[in-house]
Copies of this chain bind each other. A is one copy, B any other.
């Protein structure tokens, strides 16, 4: 499977494709075309998530940090369970492709 094929240029909502799953683990491809978390919304997840940006550009904000983290292709980030975070921005001019691995902390 080629993860950068057939990318939509505009989407009404993020497009999530499940790539693999196992015991307490789920691997997804997420395509964003400018989507971001609604104002005031924070993810607060019971499990950990490892994200990798394959293409595009995005900003992730973590609670307690002064500024969002800017991600480009090849940037990865581990988000521990219950670390509140939000997608502050994704590039509206190109598809941003994320790989997300959701898993249970040891």
Contacts and interface: CB of A to CB of B under 8 A. Distances in A.
Interface in A31-86: 47-48, 50, 52, 54-55, 73-78
A21 B50 CA distance: 10
Contact of A25 (B5, B52, B103): B103
B4 A74 contact: yes
Nearest to A48: B22
- In the complex this chain forms, how many copies of it are found? 2
Contacts of A75: 1-3
Contact of A23 (B50, B54, B104): B104
A18 to B, nearest CB: 11
Given A24-B24, A50-B27, A19 B78 contact: yes
A19 B74 contact: no
26 contacts: A1-B76, A2-B74, A2-B75, A3-B74, A4-B74, A5-B74, A19-B76, A20-B48, A20-B50, A20-B78, A20-B103, A21-B106, A22-B48, A22-B103, A22-B104, A22-B106, A23-B24, A23-B104, A23-B105, A24-B104, A25-B103, A25-B104, A27-B50, A27-B101, A52-B99, A103-B103
